[in-house]
Structure 1
Amino acid sequence: MKKIIFILILIGFMSVQTFAQKRITWHTDFNEALELALNEDKKVMLFFTGSDWCGWCIKLQNEVFKTPDFEKWSDDLVLVELDFPRRTPQDPKLKGQNRQLQAMFKVRGYPSVYFVQPEKMPDGKMNLNNLGKTGYVRGGAGKWLEVADNIVNKTI
């Protein structure tokens, strides 16, 4: 009987652990992310980062993006990480895509977070309605989410 109770407790604990794991998906393929956003009628968050050298990027990840508050808040967004590492090898195709987007959005510093609403035009081309941008915001997840929420929820 004790073995059965122990197994049931263990199974319950494991299911709670599985449920508690992060379910955030960071996309790296920009075009794939746009198609997903269009299909699910979501806005897109573009996170320009230097993952292995930018202290403020790492701080933003730890203080905001890795929190349960952000996880819940970001449910209605498609998240895209556009990384510019210095020490970590990166696929040349991904590197080219990220540099092209960096030039398109005129990113000059890191971290930079842009919010866009993709729209498919009648001619089949994609239009990105720029909703706004932010970077690191002092004060933790609550302050950052307040700023980001104002950007995401403004009307085009």
Structure 2
Amino acid sequence: MKPFLIALLLMCWSPLAPAAESQLPWLTSLPEAKAKAKISGKMIFLDFTGSDWCAVCILLNKQVFQTPEFAAYARENLELVEVDFPHDKEQTESQKKANDALQDKYRIEYYPTLVVLNSNGRKLGTLNYNGEGPQAFIERIQKLAPRKKKR
């Protein structure tokens, strides 16, 4: 009986390991992301989402954001900001106002919309989600990245 319980425990535990590895530090404040980006030199990645009701947003999260490939890329290259417009999740009034202001500033018309900024906060471009996998999505972000100056 003991070997069976150990095997059952291992089967239940193993799917959780990749999810834990791909957990990313999503911020909810653009000013905080800008401060971090000034130090790190990373791009700022804004995810305008309806995390608990938007089917495409949920798909993007599952098929791209929760993958080890995206996690590895994001840790090296992006300061992540979730700008969420949930139906059922609680948010403070100040968070709602900040999110509304960002939505107005970047003229967001639908979800998900991804806005990429340079490390100084200047807009580099806007992306949507076309159902691609993590590698193709990363390549689209990389096309927006500022060119490194050659010495």
Tell me if TM exceeds 0.5: yes
Q: 1:93-112 counterparts in 2 under 5 A?
A: 93-112=94-113
- Indicate the structure (1 or 2) with the bigger Cα radius of gyration: 1
**What is the match of residue 148 of structure 1?**
141
With normalisation by structure 1, the TM-score equals 0.77
Q: What letter matches 2:125 in structure 1?
A: G
Q: How far apart, CA to CA, are the structure 2 residues paired with 1:89 and 1:54?
A: 16
1:10 alignment partner in structure 2: none
For 1:59, the aligned partner's letter is: L
How many correspondences in the alignment?
135
Structure 2 distance, partners of 1:134, 1:85, is: 20
Structure 1 pair 29–81 and aligned structure 2 pair: CA distance change class (3 A): same
Q: Aligned partners of 2:90, 2:56: CA distance in 1, in Å?
A: 21
In 2: Cα distance, 1:150 partner to 1:94 partner: 31
> Which 5+ residue runs of structure 2 have no aligned equivalent?
1-16
- Larger relative contact order (Cα-Cα within 8 Å, sequence gap ≥ 6): 2
| Aligned-pair identity (%) | 32
Specify every segment of 5 or more residues in structure 1 that has no aligned partner in the other structure, as ranges. Answer: 1-16, 120-127
Q: CA deviation at 1:21?
A: 2.7
2:42 matched residue in structure 1: 42
| RMSD between superposed Cα atoms in Å | 2.5
Equivalent residue number for residue 86 of structure 2: 85
CA distance in 1 between partners of 2:78 and 2:90 (Å): 28
Contact 2:21 2:68 survives alignment (8 Å): no
